[in-house]
Amino acid sequence: MPQTSVVFSSILGPNCNRQVQPGMGDRGGGASSGSRDLIFQDGRLTSGSLEALMEHLVPTVDYYPDRTYIFTFLLSSRVFMPPHDLLARVGQICVEQRQQLEAGPEKAKLKSFSTKIVQLLKEWTEAFPYDFQDEKAMAELKAIAHRVTQCDEENGTVKKAIAQMIQSLLLSLAARSQLQELREKLRSPVVDKGPILKAKPPAAQKDILGVCSDPLVLAQQLTHVELERVNSIRPEDLMQIISHMDSLDNHRCRGDMTKTYSLEAYDNWFNCLSMLVATEVCRVVKKKHRTRMLEFFIDVARECFNIGNFNSMMAIISGMNLSPVARLKKTWSKVKTAKFDVLEHHMDPSSNFCNYRTALQGATQRSQTANSSREKIVIPVFNLFVKDIYFLHKIHTNHLPNGHINFKKFWEISRQIHEFMTWTQVECPFEKDKKIQSYLLTAPIYSEEALFIASFESEGPENHMEKDSWKALRTTLLNRA
């Protein structure tokens, strides 16, 4: 086997329908009876027992699994068992295969078999390195590695390959750990609760327009933030959403759940951007300047749409639709809302966000035929992507009536996750502006109470409901003081 790394664009490329790559052999006669529990349709694996699927993962002397299958099974298997249990079973199958080789006429092929096992482990550790954060998984990996090196006493090539694999794995785990520590420090945004009843800042206080007045430039800097954050999301993080939601549906807690820092950080970013937009609008004293601020963010959202950064676009629209901003009718009456109406049309939730999905499809097609890195950018609305994956999981059963795993379902989930991972690997083509980045990530944002105070101070309550809310808020803040 060539010593190539598992890269998402190669393991689930256009040939993902093929189950066996040319020259890589079928499992065939060397397989156990479990291989007969696999069902294929038009050459594509559609179902099988868990045991048969595990056996199909493990190489033999004459067979090596297709890389698309390796990725899809390793990704989906965590729905049924933790990675360390799968590793343990892989180790058992390896021992059984090795014993057969040692007892039979093909003992000379033992080293070739060991090389293929190392290649499988290498692809696993490269595609899903964080499976091995678990001590049990690392122990199983080392146990398998120890077994396969016993046939390599002469020149140590297998042992050398294993040493390189483990070294690369440890580097990946160390980088992940450092990233998590950094995220822990930056986890909570700076929240400005505003002074009691007077939430308005001094007129000279810096706002976003004082840092960046060009909507295109700000949209580009937002795209930088998006790509940096989404790039740290791993396929297993997305698959874990399914396990987590299943646990909530069944009113139980998975004891082996790991913290998905990357998902939390990315979700928090969306919320912070929405609140930052609302803060920037509500904190402005003069109506004329508030109008300008709203029109500026409308233009920024439009530029995000043109770039293909739908997540920032949705966050900005969400910020402008928050109640403290949406209620500013006198301010909105001065805004040229034609552009905003177009944006809301794109994000219209009717027919399952049909308009947005059409735009996303267009951006995807542009990305696939792109001649420049700018045309490759596709950043979907993350919450909608997660809901799509979970919906796909819920409407299709994991098991068929005969007890087989519905692998056709997991091919599709894997395909969608692969497409998302391809988007996350695009390098941002825009020059980074540290000043703007710093403001976006560190500017204080108002709490919900402070937003309402600022909003009511800008435009007083207009109906009984608003008057009651304003009165209750004032009483709460005065009592707290």
| Cα end-to-end span (Å), the chain | 70
The pairing of strands 191-192 and 445-446 is parallel
Kindly state whether residue 18 falls inside one of the protein's structural domains: no
Of 133, 161, 179, which closes a domain?
Answer: 179
Enumerate the β-bridge partners of residue 399: 405
Q: Is residue 384 helix, strand or coil?
A: helix
Number of domains in the chain: 2
Residues 196/38, Cβ–Cβ less than 8 Å: no
Residues 91/143, Cβ–Cβ less than 8 Å: yes
Q: Which H or E run contains 244?
A: helix 235-249
Sorted by sequence, the CB contacts under 8 Å of residue 227 that are 6+ apart come out as 377, 379, 424, 426, 427, 428
Nearest CA-CA partner of 302 in 361, 220, 219: 219
Residues 61 and 110 in one domain: yes
What pLDDT tens digit does each residue of the chain (481 aa) get? Answer: 333 333 333 333 333 433 333 334 455 434 444 456 899 999 899 999 999 999 999 999 889 999 999 999 999 999 999 999 999 999 999 988 888 887 777 666 888 888 899 999 999 999 999 899 888 999 999 999 888 877 655 557 888 889 899 999 999 888 877 766 665 555 455 555 554 455 455 555 689 999 999 999 999 999 999 999 998 899 988 988 776 666 555 544 444 444 567 788 888 999 999 999 999 999 998 999 999 999 999 999 999 999 999 999 999 999 999 999 999 999 999 999 899 999 999 999 999 999 999 999 999 999 999 988 899 999 999 999 999 998 999 899 999 999 999 999 999 999 999 999 999 999 999 999 999 999 999 999 999 999 999 999 999 998 999 999 888 888 887 777 6
Token digits of residue 397: 């059963």
Kindly state whether residue 244 falls inside one of the protein's structural domains: yes
Residues 330 and 449 in one domain: yes
Q: What is the CATH number of the domain that holds 466?
A: 1.10.840.10
Kindly state whether residue 413 falls inside one of the protein's structural domains: yes
Residue range of the domain that includes 59 = 36-179
Residues 49 and 155 in one domain: yes
Residues 323 and 231 in one domain: yes
Nearest CA-CA partner of 456 in 401, 31, 448: 448
Residues 153 and 49 in one domain: yes
pTM of the model: 0.83
